[in-house]
Structure 1
Amino acid sequence: MKKKIAIIGFGSTMISIGINGFILPFHLINGGFFGISLLFNYLWGFQSGLTFILLNIPVYLFALKIEPEYFYNGLFGVIVSGTMVDLLIPLNGLIHLPIISSVIIGAVIIGIGMGVMLRNHISPGGMDLLALLFAKWTKLNVGVIMVAMDMGVILTGLFVLHDPRLLYSLLIISIIGLMATVITLFRRESIFTN
């Protein structure tokens, strides 16, 4: 239990640092429910972390019926991740880098956080939980599934916000997906046998 708490704390902190310190200052998005939460923040000023937690409710109710293990492992991850995103909002604007550097560094940090959580059967939330479930059912790598889902979020953001800078978000989700794929491959067999 202590190991899981440490993993959730580490992963959530990394995700929150990546989002607030490197992604948010340029009004970019990453994929999944985090990306949707950021879209809501840009459009209507909603708190990203709280919105993220609320978006996860239907997915977790679904997971409770289908795969209770993922529900219990991920519920704490969602709450901590969402809370950390809101707690670390003061990082927004503290780091001044060119957009491409910010995108790469932020995505690597988020990817490490997500990858470590996913490798230990803990979902940072939402679409990542769906990706874990699909990975278990289809034997596809969870990182590959995440990238496909995230592409849909980015394309929606481009359509809604009409901001060409969101094309950088494609790089963000590619790096996050790559990091998650590499990190989860180290224990691929254990992910699918549990």
Structure 2
Amino acid sequence: MLKKLAIIGFGSTMIGIGINGFILPFHLINGGMFGISLLLKYVWGFKAGITFILLNIPVYMFAYKSDPVYFFNGLIGAMISGIMIELLLPLNGTFQLPIMSSVILGAVIIGIGVGVMLRNHISPGGMDLLALLIAKWSKVNVGVIMVATDAVIIISGLMLLKDPKLLYSLLIISIVGLLAALITTFHSVKPFTK
């Protein structure tokens, strides 16, 4: 349990740093429930972390019926991720980087956080939890499922906000999805023994 909490703490902190430090300053979005939460923040001024937690409730109900272990891990993962997004809000505007550097760095930080959590069958919430369940049933890699759903969210954001800058968000989801896929498929190398 302590190991699980440490992984959730690490992953959530990375997600909070990536979103607040590098994604929010340029009004970009990433995928999943995080992306939907950020869209609602930009359009109506909702608090991203709290919106994220609320959006996850229906997904948890579905997950609880399908797989109680994923439900429990996802519930803790999403609650802590939502809290970390709110706690790390002061990072917004701290790093003065060009948009491309910010996008790449933010996506890598988020991707590591999401990937480490998913590798340990802990979902940072929402779409990631659904992606984990779908991956379990379909044997399709969780990172591939995430990229597909995230692309739909970003295209919706592009239509709602009509801001071409949101195209950078496609790069964010690609990097996050790629890192999640790599981290979840990487197997630790066993030491050579004579």
TM-score scaled by structure 1? 0.96
CA RMSD of aligned residues (A): 0.9
Q: How far apart, in 1, do the equivalents of 2:76 and 2:124 lie?
A: 9
Deviation beyond 6 Å, 4+ runs, structure 1: none
Q: Kindly report which structure 2 residues correspond to 1:116-155, keeping only aligned pairs within 5 A, or say none.
A: 116-155=116-155
**Residue number in structure 2 paired with 1:83:** 83
Residue ranges of structure 1 left out of the alignment (5+ in a row): 189-194
Question: Which letter maps to 1:10?
Answer: F
Q: How far apart, in 2, do the equivalents of 1:144 and 1:10 lie?
A: 23
SS at match of 2:154: helix
User: Between the two proteins, what is the percent identity of the paired residues?
Assistant: 73
Residue ranges of structure 2 left out of the alignment (5+ in a row): 189-194
Q: Kindly report which structure 2 residues correspond to 1:5-20, keeping only aligned pairs within 5 A, or say none.
A: 5-20=5-20
**Residue number in structure 2 paired with 1:185:** 185
Larger radius of gyration: 2
| Residue 74 of structure 1, CA deviation | 1.1
| Residue 186 of structure 1, CA deviation | 1.7
Q: How far apart, in 1, do the equivalents of 2:25 and 2:168 lie?
A: 13
Q: Kindly report which structure 2 residues correspond to 1:67-78, keeping only aligned pairs within 5 A, or say none.
A: 67-78=67-78
* Alignment check: 8 A CA contact 1:119 1:187 kept: no
| Residue 73 of structure 1, CA deviation | 1.1
TM-score scaled by structure 2? 0.96
**Residue number in structure 2 paired with 1:114:** 114
Q: How far apart, in 2, do the equivalents of 1:90 and 1:18 lie?
A: 12
**Residue number in structure 1 paired with 2:41:** 41
Q: How far apart, in 2, do the equivalents of 1:156 and 1:125 lie?
A: 20
Q: How far apart, in 1, do the equivalents of 2:83 and 2:95 lie?
A: 21
1:115-152, CA deviations, whole angstroms, 9 ceiling, x for partnerless residues? 00000000000000000000000001000000000001
**Residue number in structure 2 paired with 1:93:** 93
| Residue 167 of structure 1, CA deviation | 0.2
| Residue 60 of structure 1, CA deviation | 0.2
Q: How far apart, in 2, do the equivalents of 1:52 and 1:126 lie?
A: 8
Q: How far apart, in 2, do the equivalents of 1:119 and 1:187 lie?
A: 10
